[in-house]
Structure 1
Amino acid sequence: MANKKKTSTQKNSSGSGKSAGKSNEAAPKPTSAEAKPVAKPTASSAADKPRAARSSRRQKQQRTNIAIGAGIAAVIIAAIAVQVIRESGKPGQRFASQGNLHIASLQTPHVPYNSNPPTSGPHMPGIAGWGVYDAVQPDEFLVHNMEDGGVILWYQLGTPEENDANIDLLSAVSRNYSRIIIAPRENLPSKYVLTAWTRMQQFDDIDREGMLRFIEAYEGLDHHPRY
């Protein structure tokens, strides 16, 4: 009886040993399903990226537009400055153009001329003949002569003797030019006045150098509109 009991005890010990052996096994590793989850981008963060890119492109385009606008403005200002300098260097006073309108007859009403003598504005379809006159000529013809590149040398209307003397003086100045008219006028602002399209210069006496400078600057310039 004692031997059986011992055997039973040994079996139990052996069983206990197996349990102890199992308890020393390594702990199981987590499966892939049990791994630490990786944070995924949210819908809002994904939308922020293209929005930021669009904003960056928009700002870049705005800077480009500003640079282009500044460049264009600089070119325009420079062109205006050059034109002002160029105009300021030309002889005579400048008057605003009143256009190139043709009128049907000398009796056709039209806007008043903005200078005396006129320097632009409504005029007859034809021109006065180039040359010398001892009688007052219609403004509406002489304006067309100026549009065609003519220079008018006006002298104060006086006696026939005075007119002849002025004609001789002005002819001596302008004899080398073809598009010239010498004509008298009443109520001139000065004794002599030279006009071209939108230009006028007054002279109290014969100034050959000054008159030639004016003629050289404007004689032969065509002022018909370009369509």
Structure 2
Amino acid sequence: MTDGHDPADRSSLSRRRTLGVVGAGAVAALAGCLGGGGDTSLPENGDPELLEDVESFPSEGVEHVERGTEVEYDTQPPTSGPHYSGVVEAGFYEEPQTMGDLVHTLEHGAIVAYYVPDALTDEARSSLETWANSHTGTWQSFVAVPNPYDDPQAPYTLTAWRHLLRMDEYDEDVVRAFAAEYIGRGPENPVR
């Protein structure tokens, strides 16, 4: 699968940082007041019962390739493999992002959450925005993007380096467990 986007045309890619330059505590408090949950604190590991459906894959490699190189990944969405040198900053995105940059972001220890726009509920959107605004570190960020595949296997898919979890319905407890288990634990510079 290629990412199907012209990496040189960054102007067509939009990103929403809905709460701007607000501290993580204020983000959590505001989100809680707005009904979006908001507690994005993480235990050391995720609840194993909530992670029973996580799929784990062998690494497809960590090679950096030239921007524009077509890369075929074994998983949809990818969980590892050759990638570009750029990364996607933490945030909630309304347009698909370059797959080669998303894979590098996973290598940095990020969680990339894919959503199907037509299935995105207000509650899920609010929660994903809160996660993306609360976990912004270079080595432990949270990115939410539309699923770019024509026939996604689920409305919501969580990915981390070598790990994938599909959800038929959005479940914030599962997102918290997945993030607790994998965020900050990418191969390039694990910080947790």
TM-score under structure 1 normalisation?
A: 0.53
Structure 1 residue 157: deviation in Å? 3.1
2:56 paired with 1:94: yes
> What SS does structure 1 have at the residue aligned with 2:118?
coil
Superposition map of 1:59-208 within 5 A: 91=51, 92-106=54-68, 108-110=69-71, 112-158=72-118, 162=120, 166-172=124-130, 175-178=133-136, 179-186=141-148, 187-208=151-172
How far apart, in 2, do the equivalents of 1:118 and 1:169 lie? 23
1:95–1:114 contact (8 Å) kept in structure 2: no
How far apart, in 2, do the equivalents of 1:163 and 1:104 lie? 37
Classify 1:157/1:120 alpha carbon distance in 2 versus 1 (closer, same or farther; 3 Å).
Answer: same
How far apart, in 2, do the equivalents of 1:175 and 1:195 lie? 18
Flag the structure with higher helix content.
Answer: 1
How far apart, in 1, do the equivalents of 2:171 and 2:121 lie? 18
How far apart, in 1, do the equivalents of 2:75 and 2:57 lie? 7
Structure 1 vs Structure 2: percent identity of aligned residues? 27
Deviations 1:81-135 (A, max 9, x none): xxxxxxxx593110111000111112x133x211110000010011112111000
How far apart, in 2, do the equivalents of 1:219 and 1:103 lie? 24
How far apart, in 1, do the equivalents of 2:87 and 2:182 lie? 18
Flag the structure with higher strand content.
Answer: 2
Structure 1 residue 136: deviation in Å? 0.8
1:152–1:196 contact (8 Å) kept in structure 2: yes
1:97–1:121 contact (8 Å) kept in structure 2: yes
Runs of 4+ deviating beyond 3 Å:
162-166, 172-176
Unaligned runs of 5+ in 1: 1-88
Classify 1:175/1:127 alpha carbon distance in 2 versus 1 (closer, same or farther; 3 Å).
Answer: closer
Classify 1:217/1:104 alpha carbon distance in 2 versus 1 (closer, same or farther; 3 Å).
Answer: same
Unaligned runs of 5+ in 2: 1-47
Larger Rg: 1
Equivalenced residues, count = 134
Name the Cα RMSD after superposition.
2.5
2:184 paired with 1:220: yes
How far apart, in 2, do the equivalents of 1:137 and 1:164 lie? 21
Superposition map of 1:42-57 within 5 A: none
TM-score under structure 2 normalisation?
A: 0.62
How far apart, in 2, do the equivalents of 1:147 and 1:202 lie? 20
Structure 1 residue 164: deviation in Å? 6.8
How far apart, in 1, do the equivalents of 2:127 and 2:152 lie? 17
